[in-house]
Every structure is written in structure tokens, then in C-alpha cells.
Chains A and B, each alone.
Chain A
Amino acid sequence: MKAAILGKKLGMTSFFKEDGVQLPCTVVEAGPCPVVQLKTKETDGYSAIQVGFGKRKKNRTNKPLEGHFKKNNVDPTQNLKEFRDLPAENIVENKLTIEQFKKGDKVKVSGTSIGRGFQGVVKRHHFSGVGMTTHGQSDRQRHPGSIGASSYPSRVIKGIRMAGRMGGKTSSVRNIEVIEIIPDRNLILLKGSIPGSKNSLVEIVIN
């Protein structure tokens, strides 16, 4: 069954399974996400459910946004996101809640990876570095080495991996197992790690 929700990554801890196996787990505070707009094929060209997550201060909400939220009688939320072709059965009391998921489900989690700034090729692309400190070189351990041939083609081929900004991009991990769901606190425990820093927005989806 399709399911989707927005959440906030809280951090990581350990979990003991029934058979005593210790698992690393990430705790995410997910939902409840009020439905802000229902998009349909007839009016918008595609069908989707637009939901919100998190509180937005009144003085940070501009007039057009306020009107948009008012249309569906929803308090302004920090984030807005659309989920395409999500069945209407997932909406309970005009909200997407954590109850869509159950223990053992395999989910896809997307978030913005931790920004690492300007990084060299060893960290960014797992190059092994030029390496040696002997044979006449002593200062090139983490360099990229050659980036192409000489007079032909006389230029660097597009897409050569080099140093640059790393992280801070949308990243997804698939097939993450749901270990536990705590509905009264809107918490979901996922096996292993997920993209993003603490308190960052994540999207949990079953396709």
C-alpha cells in the first residue's frame, strides 16, 4: 500500500529485538500532517495531496500563504509538500498520520544530507589519493592525479570528478525497515541511519 508522511529527524539510539539482536535505529517525529490542498487531474492536470508539517509563526506567514491555508481551514505550517497519486484512504480526519505505517514495512526516506563544505576528491569521490611520500614526491597524498590527456583533446572532459561542495543535497535511502511505531507521540523508529542532520525535515514514503 502507498503511504507517505513528513517528519523531523530527532537522533539515533539502540533497540533490542525480541530475539536479543541489538539494532541501531533512528527516531523520527512524523506527522500528523494536515492536508492543505487536494489536487485533481481535472483542475490541476495531475492528482496529488498537498500536506503541511511543523508550526509556522503567524508573523512569518505572508498574506497569499495565509489565504492558501485558510482555504482548507488549516493552521499555517512550516513546510509544504505534495505527494503524487496517494490514495485518499490514507487521509484520516483531514490528516496524514503515522498509522499508515506498520512494524516491518520497508520504506524510502529522503532528506537533505549533512553539508560538508568544500571537500577534496578523497573524501568527496572516494579517490585513493596519489599516495606515496617517496619516489621524489612528498606533498601529494590526497591529490586527484591526472585529469586527462595532453595535446589531444587539449581540454578537460566534461564530468571529470574533482574537488568541490559536498553534501547539502537531497539524498534518499530505500528499503529501510520500520522497527517500531509509537502513535501516541507520533514517533517512528527506523533501522539504521537516514540522510540529514538532527532536526532536519525528512520524507518517509512507501511506493
Chain B
Amino acid sequence: MNTIDLIGAKVIEQAIESRKKKDGDNFAEIPDFRPGDTVNVAVRVVEGEKERIQNYKGIVISRRGAGVGQTFLVRKISNGVGVERIFPLFSPMIQSIAVMRKGNVRRAKLYYLRGMSERKIRQKTK
């Protein structure tokens, strides 16, 4: 293992530690999930002094990177407008990632879902 990977592993460890400290019993491990899965990401939102949890639910359409830099892209339709958000997988700002529904897709990047209706998306990720 080279030093850069070692540092990366250490940063991941630190991020998990900081989540454990913050959440205590509510701490949730990062689950296995793939593009096509519907996930609910609980994100910490800091408003002034206070911190609260905001849920962001949608379909994972891409995962990229390796080590600390890993990210995933979640797409959802909010009030008729498509919204896409990129999360760093190991970010301490994520409280939990919950897999709501397993998808069955043949591609690693589901960018073709962008123009589709919700019904079509459901068929495609069955």
C-alpha cells in the first residue's frame, strides 16, 4: 500500500469516526448499492448554530472514483423539475444512506434516464 492510499484510508476512518461520535446509537454503516437503486440519503444541514437532517430520495444514476474521492449521483424529480445531486460517499455530512429499492439495470451510468417519464424509469430499472 503506498502512502497516498494509506492517507486516504486514514481520512475515511476519520470521517467514519466523526460520524460515530455525532450519531452515537443512530450510526449507520454505508450499505452496498449500485446504479439503478433507489436510495434515501439523510444529509446534515447546518442552519446557523443548529443542525438538522434533510432527506433526499432518488435513483442512483452513477458512481465514480476510488478511495476517499468516491462519489455517487442521485437523481430525483422535485415538483416536476429534475434534480441531480452529487454526494461524496464518505462525507461526514451524510448521516445515513438507506437502500429503498434494488434496481436491475445493465449499465453503470444511467444518464439515459434523464429525458424519461417516471413510469418509463420505473420500467427501465425493474
Contacts and interface: CB of A to CB of B under 8 A. Distances in A.
A199 to B, nearest CB: 11
Given A13-B68, A15-B11, A16-B91, A27 B18 contact: no
Contacts of B11: 13-16
B27 to A, nearest CB: 16
Interface in A29-80: 29
A206 interface: no
Interface stretch (B2-10, B101-109, B111-119): B2-10
Report the interface size class on chain A.
10 to 19
B14 interface: yes
B20 interface: no
Contacts of A18: 18
Interface of B: 2-4, 7-8, 11, 14-15, 18, 44, 46, 67-69, 88, 90-93
Contacts of B69: 13-14
Interface in A12-32: 12-16, 18-20, 22, 27, 29
A90 to B, nearest CB: 25
A19 B3 CA distance: 25
Of A13, A19, A29, A187, chain B has the most CB atoms within 10 Å of the CB of: A13
Contact of A22 (B8, B46, B91): B91
A122 interface: no
Contacts of A20: 44, 91-93
A93 B121 CA distance: 67
